[in-house]
Amino acid sequence: MSAQPEAADIHPRPVAVEVVPDGIPAALVNHDQWLGWRWERVNGKWTKPPLSLRTLGAGSSTDAQTWVGFSRAVTTLAGDRLCEEQNLDGLGFAITKENGITGVDLDDCVVDGALHPAAAEIIDSLASYAEISPSGKGVRIIVEGSLPEGTRNKTSSTPWGGALEVYDQGRYLTITGRPAVGTTGTVEPRQEQLEWLIDTYLPRREQTRAVPASNGHAFAYEVIDAIGRAKNAPKFQELFEGGLAGKPSPSEAVQALLHMLLFYTDDATVLDAIMRKSAIVDGKWDSKRGDSTWGANEIEAALRNYTGERYDWTRQKTPSQSEAAPDESPTGLVFERLSEVEMRSIVFVDKPLLQAAAFHLVAGRKGVGKGTLLADWVAKITRGELGTKRNVIWIGSEDSAAIDIKPRIVAAGGKPEHIIVVKSGWVQLPRDIDEIRQAAVDLSDVPSPPSSARARGCKSPAPC
């Protein structure tokens, strides 16, 4: 039997085309907005995160402190080529609104060395500097001009099948200095042609402002609650907890989180309040950048670049006090004595702490031992040490199933085949009760014990 190739063999590290500094137009050379970049594998895909040529650490398309002049950029790249272990794969240029420059990316428009006719039409129409992308499979066009308000930045609906992207700020462009055949070597003013491109491939859409917040910090919780009910809640949670969610750099992860929030509100006070609650923000957020701060600049950049739709807060309206039913309090609260409550018959697993067929929430600060306590309980439950052997659904917000949960369960002598965990998604109650209940029903059909165990009279565990 032949061995299957590993994923790294199937998708090897790309080889970037060599940068030709002399081919880069003066419109870019004359600005001190240069970065480096290096291929990095993120979630199975090769990405090109920006690097600061001052430190070879993380760079940013919006943080001028990480940029250098063109001469230093070329020198740093040349010096890196002499090193045994290279840190750079190419150069990049950070575009800003002040430059009046727009970059147009035509991804994967070159197949077997031939340019797709629709991509060729775009290049001919814009008639400005165009170059081969680092992969050799795409073309980047650079023009003088700006994007009209409401322009979408990306579409994958192109005749050649690759993406079309346009940016005039808040991004960096990888630069090779290798002009596409038949194109001019200078960046030309092409506002009219740029608008033709947008009307043809990226039609603008009307924007509606989100409801402004009268109290930023109070409204922040409403925004977070609304995101928690959305389909992309898991991605928000990963970013909110400090993860990259597939983004190549922390700076781009910050922008991704802000763009998710901008669907719900464009109030800078609310955005700042939510970002400060997240783990993605560190001491850099309040660091000075001229008369502003890094965090304020990130919010401003996100507000400028966001062109998506807005959340309709009117569908979240609740009855006002005047609309409340006459026999109810305005808040809907009703009280009664505990002695008047009819008690249900409860099956306890570990009296009086654990009930059968019930949710149990164990809360506490990270690191206090919640997972260890639960692992001990769950192991005993699945072994039948606390009465009838039962199945368990483990829903954790901190622990990894592979690194934390399963090793603890196995170490405690538990039975992993009688436990299920949430593989992906962000659980929210009471929204997900029905889905969790169905998972409990499905879990009742657990794997049968080995024949030797059945011979001894062992039975499958009871349902959750």
- Identify the top-confidence range among 154-158, 413-417, 421-425: 413-417
The residue-averaged pLDDT of 52-57 equals: 87
**Residue 428's pLDDT band (cuts 50, 70, 90):** low
Q: Please report the pLDDT score of residue 97 as a whole number.
A: 87
Q: Please report the pLDDT score of residue 315 as a whole number.
A: 57
The β-bridge partners of 110 are 115
Cα–Cα distance measured from residue 360 to residue 358, given in angstroms and rounded to the nearest whole number: 6
User: In 3D, which of 391, 390, 454, 385 has the Cα closest to residue 413?
Assistant: 385
User: In 3D, which of 248, 241, 245, 240 has the Cα closest to residue 271?
Assistant: 240
For residue 6, pLDDT over 60 is answered with no
Cα–Cα distance measured from residue 440 to residue 391, given in angstroms and rounded to the nearest whole number: 8
Is the separation of the CB atoms in 46 and 13 below 8 Å?
A: yes
Cα–Cα distance measured from residue 381 to residue 401, given in angstroms and rounded to the nearest whole number: 18
Q: Please report the pLDDT score of residue 190 as a whole number.
A: 94
Q: Please report the pLDDT score of residue 322 as a whole number.
A: 34
Cα–Cα distance measured from residue 345 to residue 421, given in angstroms and rounded to the nearest whole number: 28
The residue that leads in pLDDT, 423 or 275, is 275
- Furthest C-alpha separation in the chain: 88
- Identify the top-confidence range among 78-87, 186-195, 280-289, 396-405: 186-195
Residue at 421: amino acid letter = V
Of the listed ranges 261-270, 300-309, 440-449, the least confidently predicted one is 440-449
To 5 degrees, how large is the angle CA 252–CA 428–CA 433?
150
**Residue 207's pLDDT band (cuts 50, 70, 90):** very low
Q: Please report the pLDDT score of residue 120 as a whole number.
A: 92
Cα–Cα distance measured from residue 399 to residue 412, given in angstroms and rounded to the nearest whole number: 16
CATH placement of domain 348-455: 3.40.50
Q: Which two tokens stand for residue 20?
A: 């030709």
Every domain of the chain and the residues it spans: 7-201, 216-314, 348-455
pLDDT in tens, 231-249: 888 888 888 877 888 888 8
Q: Which two tokens stand for residue 2?
A: 């032949």
The conformation of residue 23, written as its DSSP 8-state character, comes to: G
Of the listed ranges 145-149, 209-213, 366-370, the least confidently predicted one is 209-213
Q: What is the CA radius of gyration of the chain?
A: 28
Cα–Cα distance measured from residue 102 to residue 147, given in angstroms and rounded to the nearest whole number: 8
Q: Please report the pLDDT score of residue 90 as a whole number.
A: 92
Q: Please report the pLDDT score of residue 446 as a whole number.
A: 45
Cα–Cα distance measured from residue 16 to residue 135, given in angstroms and rounded to the nearest whole number: 5
Cα–Cα distance measured from residue 345 to residue 358, given in angstroms and rounded to the nearest whole number: 13
The conformation of residue 68, written as its DSSP 8-state character, comes to: B
Residues 6+ apart with CB under 8 A from 48: 37, 38, 39, 40, 89, 90, 92, 134, 174, 248
For residue 262, pLDDT over 60 is answered with yes
Q: Please report the pLDDT score of residue 430 as a whole number.
A: 62
Q: Please report the pLDDT score of residue 347 as a whole number.
A: 67
Of the listed ranges 15-19, 98-102, 222-226, 375-379, the least confidently predicted one is 222-226
The residue-averaged pLDDT of 79-103 equals: 87
**Residue 346's pLDDT band (cuts 50, 70, 90):** low
Indicate whether this model's pTM tops 0.85: no
Summary mean pLDDT of the chain? 78
Strand bridging mode 139-144 / 40-42: unpaired
> In residues, how long is the chain?
464
Q: Please report the pLDDT score of residue 300 as a whole number.
A: 87
The residue that leads in pLDDT, 263 or 360, is 263
The residue-averaged pLDDT of 394-406 equals: 76
Residues 6+ apart with CB under 8 A from 416: 406, 409, 410
